[in-house]
Structure 1
Amino acid sequence: MPHLAELLSQDCIALNVSAQTWQDAITRAGALLTAAGIAEDAYTEAMIANVLDNGPYIVVAPGFAFAHARSSSAVHRTGMSWLRLATPVAFGHKTNDPVTLVVALAATDASAHTAAMAELAKLLGNPARRAALDTAGTPAELLAVLEADQPPQATAAAAKSSNLILTVCGNGLGTSLFLKNTTEQVLQTWGWERFVNVEATDTISAKGRAKSADLILTSGEIAKTLGDVGVPVKVIDNFTSTTEVDAALRDSYDV
């Protein structure tokens, strides 16, 4: 699986860009994908429609929005763009607004980018690395931060477990992967990674699979969409916060 720096090139990075609205910010991030031949304008429209339909759940951490939409014929290859805003923009998220960083993902399938998403989640959850990303003066400097301490390719499949946690977003290939990674970090600190499996999925699949899971972790907007699915649905505001996820898991597992 490609790592983060492999999905992001210098020509897809724009720093200190002005945007008046969240739609404008996503449009500018999408324009970088289009210019690089990664996706078409229709994909940018789909990213905006995703927020209009599902709410600002893509603002997964303070100041950070992860723009994406379902895979479609408008995506030519998997890739990302990175847009750092000159002035923060409100997306309408109750706890993580305003946004200064928009990363847009275009993916040809639901799995090729998972390693990159795990790396990005860890970066954003590390205050020192996040500060380095926020102060990088050029695209080359930003890529250097992303490439530092890049993990090796995994050589073995993750062990299966008898219990299941679902992390859910609108499409199952973007923000839910951030939450999956953070949840796995918490389970590792508990020594539970061999016993509990974490899977990222979309709202439709989650409704069908909910009763096979111990619980669901998601955003407030997606929780409203899911409704009563027969298992606990825990709302997480900051998808990169191990502290917040730890508290939700402790409440569910009575740790």
Structure 2
Amino acid sequence: MTILVTAATAPAGRSIVEQLIAAGRNVRALTRDPKEANLPESAEIVAGDLSDADSLKAAFQGVSAVFLLAVVPGFAPAFLAAAREAGVRRIVFQSSGAIVDGVEEQPNPIAAFHAELERQIRESGLEWTFLRLEIASADPLQWAFDVPGQLGAGNVVRGPYGQAGCSPIHPADFAAVAISCFTGDEHAGQVYHLTGPVSLTHVEQIELLGEALGRPLRYEELEPTVARKAISPYAPADVLFETWEKHLGTPAPVTDTVERITGRPPRTVTAWAADLASTLR
């Protein structure tokens, strides 16, 4: 069985590819630019884009299961039609923990986008598993405030709400759950909520990262209005700030999904920080 991994150069997609290769499985990695993918040599790397139906038809040939990470509006009808035509059996979809079930209107655009995709996948006739990643577990501080870029300039990370709780998940743990869902029939039609193992404040995240890097890092709190203005042009500020405000002085959610699905404990936050540090080096 060949598994197609979309967004194969993103942290979770890359780890899925690496773990499948290590297990001797057939994997096809979909990326816009194969020359820049830097994936294991034994992976089959193909050029493609979710918005390009022709590239998807070629990528789906001989594929039985697909890992889907989607940020492209309007791609789903052509994507699902091409998957059915090629004989794909199952889709494992990285969805959002922001979704609220049983409501007519979702609470924010991220939830609405992913809920609509879930609906279309459910109605496609394909088997599916939805991995709802909590926003507080998706390392939002790292990408919204460009922590790598800030650390390239010094030992200070500037962002809002230093005491907001997050529960970052190691990409390899998310990947391990996705891989389990490719093969076990018991995962078909299931919705799993994923988080990291521990709630950490923004300050604690940067302290752990500093220990892993061997650098005296510190977190400098930005006034929320200033911070919101800084990221609004390129990140969903309303959703992120709502999440952080909700977890000011309150731990972020923590689930047992990783251990329940994979049969082993999740990686520690120390391991999370050490592996993040290795990418920064």
TM-score bin, normalised by smaller chain:
under 0.3
Q: So what's the TM-score if we normalise by structure 1?
A: 0.27
Greater relative contact order structure (CA < 8 Å, 6+ sep): 1
Larger radius of gyration: 2
